[in-house]
Copies of this chain bind each other. A is one copy, B any other.
Amino acid sequence: MVSIRDVARLAGVSVTTVSRVINRRGKTSKATEERVWRAIEVLQYRPNLLARGLRSQKTRLLGLLVPDIDSPFFARLARYIEEAAYQRGYNLILCNVGEDPKKERHYLEVLLQRQVEGIIFPRVSDESLLFRIPSLSRVPYVVLDRTLEHEEAPTVKLDNLAAGALAASHLLELGHKKFACISGPQKITVCRERLEGFLARLAQEGIPSHDVLVVEGDFKIEGGRKAMETILSLSSPPFALFCMNDMMAFGAIQVAKERGWRVPEDISVIGLDNNPLCEVFSPPLTTVAQPFDRIAKEGIALLCKLIEKKKIRKKSITVPPYLIVRQSTAPFQEQ
């Protein structure tokens, strides 16, 4: 391994000077800089980042703690997080925690041991765990896509109230009168917010909340199927359905078709997320899109500010959703 000492020797300067040249800090003459760079080039020298991190306390390392990288949602988010981190010169340690609280706790410890400068949580699974780790208070973190009960937690997420309202508005504009909703787990704050936005918008048009059939799902295809079965056993088309993510919408539509209902003629369905498969599904799914790129970008930006101990204007950021109309929603028609 070629070290900074070898560079110093070849360039005929001290180790200190080499370090100064590399880090562009302190004064060095043009001539020495030239010699140092040439020596680096000749020896193909690359600084050892472990040593640098150890000494300088700056590792340029971030932890990415994600529930399930093998889900379109998180994979998408991870991609943009990586992009934003890369642009700022940070590397990411990938921690896929699944449903395993032990693994989550373990990873949290390991990240701290690795001296990460910050941690980004796309949806933390168990927030109480988070704050039970004492040393965590020393490293900045940002939570994406989830509202934490914890008072001061910095978060970046969709404007979920607006998202619910957007879905409602679209369905109302199409003339629908009867509504159902497949929600995510209600213990998750974002789901409650989406529902609130949806119902509030309907209420504005004189549709009372107790007229809207709300069934809880699990954000997965299978949960969407089950929820749709419940809905169809309690109510009959035509109606308009808002699913709190696209996966559940896929499951729900599948069940509807199996039962002989047509989408969108009998049932209009709108999803949420804008999963890339919306386009290829049949019918292509109308959805409330999340701007994943902005969420990730704002998240990393916020985290960096926290790391640099800058003044923060707002510790919680919401980004607006937007509507993508495809073919799973259609004007209401009397049957």
Residues of A in contact with B (beta carbons under 8 Å apart):
44, 46-51, 53-54, 59, 64, 68-72, 75-76, 78-79, 82-83, 86, 91-96, 103, 109-110, 112-115, 134-135, 221, 250-251, 254, 257, 276-277, 279-282
Judge whether B44 and A135 touch: CB under 8 Å: yes
Judge whether A281 and B281 touch: CB under 8 Å: yes
Residues of chain B lying within 8 A (CB to CB) of residue A53: 50
A82-B94, A279-B221, A280-B221 known; A50-B46 Cβ under 8 A: no
Nearest first, the 8 A-B pairs at minimum CB distance are A70-B79, A75-B75, A94-B94, A82-B96, A50-B54, A250-B280, A92-B94, A49-B113
CA distance A51 to B115 in the complex (A): 10
Chain A contact residues: over half helix, strand or loop, or mixed? Answer: helix
Question: Residue on B with the closest CB to A103?
Answer: B86
Query: Which of B47, B49, B79, B282 makes the CB contact (< 8 A) with A69?
Result: B79
Judge whether A109 and B69 touch: CB under 8 Å: no
Copies of this chain, how many? 2
Residues of chain B lying within 8 A (CB to CB) of residue A47: 113
Judge whether A48 and B54 touch: CB under 8 Å: yes
Question: Residue on B with the closest CB to A75?
Answer: B75
Judge whether B254 and A49 touch: CB under 8 Å: no
A-B contact pairs, 29 of them (CB 8 A): A44-B135, A46-B109, A47-B113, A48-B113, A48-B115, A49-B113, A49-B115, A50-B54, A50-B115, A64-B94, A69-B69, A70-B76, A70-B79, A71-B75, A72-B72, A72-B75, A78-B94, A78-B96, A82-B94, A82-B95, A82-B96, A83-B96, A91-B114, A92-B93, A93-B93, A94-B94, A250-B277, A251-B280, A282-B282
Question: Residue on B with the closest CB to A53?
Answer: B50
Min Cβ gap A14→B in Å is 21
Question: Residue on B with the closest CB to A283?
Answer: B282
Given contacts A49-B110, A91-B110, 4 further A-B contacts (CB under 8 A): A75-B75, A93-B94, A94-B94, A280-B281
CA distance A200 to B134 in the complex (A): 62
A54-B54, A94-B82, A96-B83 known; A69-B75 Cβ under 8 A: yes
Residues of chain B lying within 8 A (CB to CB) of residue A49: 110, 113-115
Residues of chain B lying within 8 A (CB to CB) of residue A112: 46
Residues of chain B lying within 8 A (CB to CB) of residue A82: 69, 94-96
Min Cβ gap A93→B in Å is 5
Min Cβ gap A285→B in Å is 11
A94-B92, A280-B254 known; A51-B48 Cβ under 8 A: no
CA distance A91 to B251 in the complex (A): 35
Min Cβ gap A135→B in Å is 7
